[in-house]
Amino acid sequence: MQIQPKQNDQTKDRTKTSTKTKATTSGFQKMKKNLFPESESVSAQKKREIMEDLVKGHEAATELRLLLQNPFGTEPSLSSHHLIAKVLRSFTQALTIINSSPLAPASADGLAHRNLLFSGENGPSVPRSGNCPTSGDCSEKRSKKGGRGRYNRRKSLLTWTELSYTTDDNHAWRKYGQKKILNSEFPRGYFRCTHRYDKGCKATKQVQRDEQYPQMYQTTYIGSHTCNAISEIVTNSTDSSNWESYLLNSDHDSVHEPLIAHQP
DNA sequence: CCTATTTGACCTAC
DNA sequence: GTAGGTCAAATAGG
Protein backbone atom coordinates (compact mmCIF):
# COMPACT_ATOMS: atom_id res chain seq x y z
CA MET A 1 0.00 0.00 0.00
CA GLN A 2 2.75 2.37 -0.82
CA ILE A 3 1.95 5.82 -1.91
CA GLN A 4 4.79 5.85 -4.27
CA PRO A 5 8.14 4.26 -4.75
CA LYS A 6 9.81 4.27 -1.43
CA GLN A 7 12.02 7.21 -0.92
CA ASN A 8 14.71 6.38 1.49
CA ASP A 9 15.84 9.20 3.64
CA GLN A 10 19.30 7.87 3.15
CA THR A 11 19.26 8.74 -0.48
CA LYS A 12 20.71 12.08 0.25
CA ASP A 13 22.72 12.49 -2.88
CA ARG A 14 19.66 13.12 -4.91
CA THR A 15 20.85 14.15 -8.28
CA LYS A 16 19.54 17.44 -9.37
CA THR A 17 17.45 17.49 -12.48
CA SER A 18 19.14 18.47 -15.64
CA THR A 19 20.54 21.93 -15.62
CA LYS A 20 20.06 22.68 -19.22
CA THR A 21 17.88 25.62 -19.93
CA LYS A 22 15.84 25.95 -23.00
CA ALA A 23 13.49 28.78 -22.30
CA THR A 24 13.92 30.95 -25.27
CA THR A 25 10.56 31.96 -26.57
CA SER A 26 9.73 35.61 -26.39
CA GLY A 27 6.58 34.94 -24.48
CA PHE A 28 8.53 33.31 -21.74
CA GLN A 29 11.07 36.05 -21.72
CA LYS A 30 8.29 38.47 -21.01
CA MET A 31 6.88 36.23 -18.36
CA LYS A 32 10.28 35.87 -16.84
CA LYS A 33 10.66 39.59 -16.70
CA ASN A 34 7.36 39.98 -14.97
CA LEU A 35 8.06 37.27 -12.50
CA PHE A 36 11.56 38.31 -11.71
CA PRO A 37 12.26 41.99 -11.99
CA GLU A 38 15.91 42.79 -11.67
CA SER A 39 15.54 43.90 -8.11
CA GLU A 40 14.48 40.49 -6.90
CA SER A 41 16.89 38.17 -5.25
CA VAL A 42 15.87 34.79 -6.57
CA SER A 43 18.97 32.82 -7.28
CA ALA A 44 19.90 32.03 -10.82
CA GLN A 45 19.52 28.37 -10.03
CA LYS A 46 15.93 28.82 -8.90
CA LYS A 47 15.13 30.95 -11.89
CA ARG A 48 16.46 28.23 -14.11
CA GLU A 49 14.41 25.56 -12.38
CA ILE A 50 11.28 27.65 -12.57
CA MET A 51 11.83 28.36 -16.22
CA GLU A 52 12.35 24.69 -16.91
CA ASP A 53 9.06 23.85 -15.27
CA LEU A 54 7.25 26.59 -17.12
CA VAL A 55 8.71 25.45 -20.40
CA LYS A 56 7.65 21.89 -19.70
CA GLY A 57 4.15 23.10 -18.97
CA HIS A 58 4.14 25.14 -22.12
CA GLU A 59 5.25 22.18 -24.19
CA ALA A 60 2.57 19.96 -22.72
CA ALA A 61 -0.06 22.64 -23.30
CA THR A 62 1.06 22.98 -26.90
CA GLU A 63 0.84 19.26 -27.41
CA LEU A 64 -2.59 19.27 -25.84
CA ARG A 65 -3.69 22.02 -28.19
CA LEU A 66 -2.52 20.02 -31.17
CA LEU A 67 -4.31 17.02 -29.85
CA LEU A 68 -7.54 18.96 -29.46
CA GLN A 69 -7.23 20.59 -32.84
CA ASN A 70 -6.61 17.32 -34.56
CA PRO A 71 -7.90 14.51 -32.36
CA PHE A 72 -7.67 11.95 -35.14
CA GLY A 73 -4.25 12.91 -36.30
CA THR A 74 -1.05 11.13 -35.57
CA GLU A 75 -0.92 9.11 -32.43
CA PRO A 76 -0.21 11.45 -29.53
CA SER A 77 2.54 10.52 -27.15
CA LEU A 78 0.23 11.09 -24.19
CA SER A 79 -3.50 11.18 -23.65
CA SER A 80 -5.24 14.47 -23.04
CA HIS A 81 -5.66 13.59 -19.39
CA HIS A 82 -1.99 12.96 -19.01
CA LEU A 83 -1.14 16.14 -20.81
CA ILE A 84 -3.38 18.13 -18.50
CA ALA A 85 -1.77 16.45 -15.54
CA LYS A 86 1.63 17.29 -16.95
CA VAL A 87 0.75 20.94 -17.40
CA LEU A 88 -0.59 21.22 -13.88
CA ARG A 89 2.38 19.41 -12.44
CA SER A 90 4.82 21.70 -14.16
CA PHE A 91 3.10 24.78 -12.85
CA THR A 92 2.81 23.31 -9.41
CA GLN A 93 6.52 22.67 -9.34
CA ALA A 94 7.28 26.15 -10.50
CA LEU A 95 5.02 27.63 -7.86
CA THR A 96 6.54 25.43 -5.22
CA ILE A 97 9.99 26.71 -6.05
CA ILE A 98 8.78 30.28 -6.08
CA ASN A 99 7.01 29.89 -2.79
CA SER A 100 9.99 28.27 -1.16
CA SER A 101 12.32 31.00 -2.25
CA PRO A 102 13.56 33.53 0.28
CA LEU A 103 11.26 36.15 -1.07
CA ALA A 104 8.21 34.03 -0.68
CA PRO A 105 6.65 35.90 2.23
CA ALA A 106 6.76 39.16 0.40
CA SER A 107 5.99 38.47 -3.19
CA ALA A 108 5.20 34.88 -3.80
CA ASP A 109 2.13 35.14 -1.68
CA GLY A 110 0.45 37.54 -3.97
CA LEU A 111 1.90 35.79 -6.92
CA ALA A 112 0.41 32.46 -6.13
CA HIS A 113 -2.95 33.92 -5.40
CA ARG A 114 -2.93 35.82 -8.63
CA ASN A 115 -1.90 33.04 -10.88
CA LEU A 116 -3.80 30.07 -9.67
CA LEU A 117 -7.20 29.32 -10.94
CA PHE A 118 -8.33 28.19 -7.54
CA SER A 119 -6.63 30.48 -5.15
CA GLY A 120 -6.58 29.93 -1.44
CA GLU A 121 -9.19 31.57 0.65
CA ASN A 122 -7.32 32.84 3.61
CA GLY A 123 -4.43 35.14 3.77
CA PRO A 124 -2.34 35.66 6.82
CA SER A 125 -4.48 35.91 9.87
CA VAL A 126 -3.91 36.27 13.51
CA PRO A 127 -4.84 33.43 15.77
CA ARG A 128 -7.77 34.40 17.81
CA SER A 129 -6.79 33.72 21.35
CA GLY A 130 -3.26 34.86 21.80
CA ASN A 131 -1.70 31.79 20.23
CA CYS A 132 0.15 30.02 22.96
CA PRO A 133 3.73 29.29 22.07
CA THR A 134 4.53 25.65 22.09
CA SER A 135 6.14 25.96 25.45
CA GLY A 136 3.60 28.45 26.65
CA ASP A 137 1.50 28.59 29.75
CA CYS A 138 -1.86 27.74 28.23
CA SER A 139 -1.18 24.06 28.57
CA GLU A 140 -2.68 23.89 32.02
CA LYS A 141 -6.27 24.05 30.92
CA ARG A 142 -5.90 21.18 28.55
CA SER A 143 -6.57 17.68 29.60
CA LYS A 144 -3.66 15.36 29.37
CA LYS A 145 -5.76 12.45 28.26
CA GLY A 146 -3.60 10.43 26.03
CA GLY A 147 -0.66 12.63 26.80
CA ARG A 148 -0.65 14.19 23.40
CA GLY A 149 1.22 17.29 22.59
CA ARG A 150 -0.39 20.49 21.55
CA TYR A 151 -0.46 21.78 18.06
CA ASN A 152 -1.42 24.94 16.34
CA ARG A 153 -3.41 25.19 13.20
CA ARG A 154 -1.42 26.85 10.55
CA LYS A 155 -3.70 29.53 9.36
CA SER A 156 -1.06 32.02 8.45
CA LEU A 157 0.66 29.92 5.84
CA LEU A 158 0.24 30.40 2.17
CA THR A 159 -2.46 28.16 0.77
CA TRP A 160 -3.68 27.50 -2.71
CA THR A 161 -5.96 24.99 -4.29
CA GLU A 162 -5.71 23.07 -7.48
CA LEU A 163 -8.12 20.91 -9.40
CA SER A 164 -6.43 18.13 -11.25
CA TYR A 165 -6.87 14.69 -12.70
CA THR A 166 -3.95 13.57 -10.67
CA THR A 167 -2.73 14.21 -7.17
CA ASP A 168 0.80 13.51 -8.16
CA ASP A 169 2.94 16.60 -7.75
CA ASN A 170 6.38 15.10 -7.60
CA HIS A 171 6.74 15.53 -3.89
CA ALA A 172 6.92 12.80 -1.34
CA TRP A 173 3.88 12.97 0.90
CA ARG A 174 2.88 10.98 3.90
CA LYS A 175 -0.73 10.59 4.86
CA TYR A 176 -1.49 11.44 8.45
CA GLY A 177 -5.23 11.58 8.52
CA GLN A 178 -8.52 11.32 6.77
CA LYS A 179 -11.83 12.90 7.59
CA LYS A 180 -15.38 12.71 6.44
CA ILE A 181 -16.39 16.25 5.61
CA LEU A 182 -19.85 17.54 6.32
CA ASN A 183 -22.10 17.68 3.26
CA SER A 184 -19.37 16.19 1.20
CA GLU A 185 -19.62 12.84 -0.45
CA PHE A 186 -15.93 12.18 -0.36
CA PRO A 187 -13.60 12.16 2.60
CA ARG A 188 -10.62 14.45 2.75
CA GLY A 189 -7.14 13.05 3.03
CA TYR A 190 -4.45 14.89 4.96
CA PHE A 191 -0.85 14.69 3.90
CA ARG A 192 2.39 16.14 5.16
CA CYS A 193 5.76 16.23 3.51
CA THR A 194 7.77 13.08 4.11
CA HIS A 195 10.68 15.28 5.11
CA ARG A 196 8.80 17.02 7.87
CA TYR A 197 11.08 15.76 10.57
CA ASP A 198 14.38 15.12 8.87
CA LYS A 199 14.38 18.42 7.03
CA GLY A 200 11.76 20.36 8.91
CA CYS A 201 9.61 20.80 5.85
CA LYS A 202 6.22 22.11 6.92
CA ALA A 203 4.35 21.67 3.68
CA THR A 204 1.03 19.87 3.93
CA LYS A 205 -1.79 19.25 1.56
CA GLN A 206 -5.37 18.12 1.64
CA VAL A 207 -6.79 16.00 -1.11
CA GLN A 208 -10.44 15.52 -1.80
CA ARG A 209 -12.37 14.32 -4.77
CA ASP A 210 -14.29 17.02 -6.49
CA GLU A 211 -18.02 16.84 -5.90
CA GLN A 212 -18.91 17.87 -9.39
CA TYR A 213 -16.20 15.98 -11.19
CA PRO A 214 -15.36 12.93 -9.08
CA GLN A 215 -12.64 11.94 -11.48
CA MET A 216 -10.75 15.04 -10.45
CA TYR A 217 -9.00 15.83 -7.22
CA GLN A 218 -9.15 19.07 -5.38
CA THR A 219 -5.81 19.51 -3.72
CA THR A 220 -5.18 22.27 -1.22
CA TYR A 221 -1.54 22.99 -0.55
CA ILE A 222 -0.70 24.62 2.74
CA GLY A 223 2.73 26.07 3.09
CA SER A 224 5.56 25.55 0.69
CA HIS A 225 8.27 22.97 0.67
CA THR A 226 11.45 23.93 2.42
CA CYS A 227 12.97 20.52 1.86
CA ASN A 228 13.55 21.13 -1.79
CA ALA A 229 12.86 17.47 -2.23
CA ILE A 230 11.07 17.12 -5.48
CA SER A 231 11.09 13.43 -5.92
CA GLU A 232 12.58 11.56 -8.75
CA ILE A 233 9.55 9.48 -9.37
CA VAL A 234 8.28 12.21 -11.54
CA THR A 235 8.35 11.56 -15.07
CA ASN A 236 6.10 8.73 -15.74
CA SER A 237 2.95 10.69 -15.86
CA THR A 238 0.91 7.55 -15.63
CA ASP A 239 1.82 6.91 -12.08
CA SER A 240 -1.19 8.81 -10.89
CA SER A 241 -2.64 5.37 -10.54
CA ASN A 242 -0.60 5.01 -7.41
CA TRP A 243 -2.43 7.87 -5.88
CA GLU A 244 -5.71 6.61 -7.03
CA SER A 245 -5.07 3.26 -5.52
CA TYR A 246 -4.62 4.56 -2.08
CA LEU A 247 -6.89 7.53 -2.18
CA LEU A 248 -9.65 5.37 -3.42
CA ASN A 249 -9.45 1.67 -3.49
CA SER A 250 -11.54 1.69 -6.58
CA ASP A 251 -11.95 4.37 -9.12
CA HIS A 252 -15.63 4.89 -8.90
CA ASP A 253 -18.44 4.76 -6.49
CA SER A 254 -19.26 1.49 -4.86
CA VAL A 255 -15.96 0.95 -3.14
CA HIS A 256 -15.56 4.00 -1.01
CA GLU A 257 -15.73 2.03 2.15
CA PRO A 258 -12.12 2.38 3.15
CA LEU A 259 -12.46 6.09 2.84
CA ILE A 260 -15.84 6.62 4.30
CA ALA A 261 -15.32 4.10 7.00
CA HIS A 262 -13.54 6.60 9.12
CA GLN A 263 -16.13 8.62 10.87
CA PRO A 264 -15.68 9.88 14.37
C1' DC B 1 12.91 -4.13 12.08
C1' DC B 2 11.61 -0.10 9.87
C1' DT B 3 8.44 2.79 7.53
C1' DA B 4 3.84 3.96 5.89
C1' DT B 5 -1.13 3.83 6.57
C1' DT B 6 -5.32 3.54 9.23
C1' DT B 7 -8.30 5.35 12.45
C1' DG B 8 -10.18 6.85 17.00
C1' DA B 9 -9.15 10.46 20.07
C1' DC B 10 -7.78 14.91 20.94
C1' DC B 11 -7.51 19.86 20.03
C1' DT B 12 -8.59 24.43 17.97
C1' DA B 13 -11.44 27.66 15.55
C1' DC B 14 -15.74 29.29 14.89
C1' DG C 1 -21.38 22.50 20.55
C1' DT C 2 -19.70 21.28 16.12
C1' DA C 3 -16.62 20.77 12.18
C1' DG C 4 -12.39 20.06 10.72
C1' DG C 5 -7.21 19.49 11.44
C1' DT C 6 -3.68 16.82 13.87
C1' DC C 7 -1.78 13.30 16.83
C1' DA C 8 -0.29 8.86 17.80
C1' DA C 9 -1.24 3.85 18.85
C1' DA C 10 -2.21 -0.02 16.26
C1' DT C 11 -1.55 -2.32 12.25
C1' DA C 12 0.16 -3.65 7.68
C1' DG C 13 3.67 -4.43 4.51
C1' DG C 14 8.45 -4.41 2.68
Q: Return the HEC string of A3-24.
A: CCCCCCCCCCCCCCCCCCCCCC
Q: How far is the CA of A51 from the C1' of B5 (A)?
A: 36
Largest CA distance in chain A: 69
Beta-bridge partners for A190: A177, A206
Give one DSSP letter per residue of A64-79, joined into a string: HHHHHH-TTSSPPSS-
Residue nearest to nucleotide B2 (CA to C1'): A8
User: Is residue A185 one of the residues assigned to a domain?
Assistant: yes
Instruction: Indicate if CB(A32) is under 7 A from strand C.
Output: no
Over residues A207-217, mean pLDDT? 83
Instruction: Indicate if CB(A179) is under 7 A from strand C.
Output: yes
Helix (H) or strand (E) holding A241: helix A240-247
Confidence (pLDDT) at A195 = 82
User: Is residue A184 one of the residues assigned to a domain?
Assistant: yes
User: Is residue A233 one of the residues assigned to a domain?
Assistant: yes
User: Is residue A116 one of the residues assigned to a domain?
Assistant: yes
- How many folded domains does chain A comprise? 1
User: Is residue A30 one of the residues assigned to a domain?
Assistant: yes
Instruction: Indicate if CB(A146) is under 7 A from strand C.
Output: yes
Instruction: Indicate if CB(A87) is under 7 A from strand C.
Output: no
User: Is residue A231 one of the residues assigned to a domain?
Assistant: yes
Q: Which nucleotide is nearest to A173 (CA to C1')?
A: B4
Instruction: Indicate if CB(A151) is under 7 A from strand C.
Output: yes
User: Is residue A5 one of the residues assigned to a domain?
Assistant: no
Confidence (pLDDT) at A31 = 38
Phi and psi of A205, rounded to 5°?
-150, 155
Closest CA to A17 of A221, A168, A170, A172: A170
Q: Pick the residue with more confidence: A245 or A100?
A: A100
Range of the domain at A184: 26-121+154-260
- Decide if pLDDT at A241 tops 70: no
List pLDDT tens digits, range A23-53: 333 333 333 334 333 334 446 777 777 778 7
- CB-side exposure of A234: number of CA atoms within 13 Å? 16
Confidence (pLDDT) at A64 = 80
Q: How far is the CA of A249 from the C1' of C10 (A)?
A: 21
- Which residues lie near nucleic chain B, judged by CB under 7 A? A 1-3, 6-7, 9, 125, 127-129, 131-132, 138, 142-146, 148, 150-153, 155, 174-179, 194, 246, 258, 261-264
Burial of A239 (0-12, 13-18, 19+ CB in 10 A): middle
Over residues A47-70, mean pLDDT? 79
Which of the four pLDDT bands, split at 50, 70 and 90, describes residue A225? Answer: confident
Q: How far is the CA of A248 from the C1' of B3 (A)?
A: 21
Closest CA to A206 of A194, A195, A193, A222: A222
Say how far apart CA A54 and CA A27 lie, in whole Å.
Answer: 11
User: Is residue A143 one of the residues assigned to a domain?
Assistant: no
Which range of A39-48, A91-100, A128-137, A184-193 scores highest in mean pLDDT? It is: A184-193
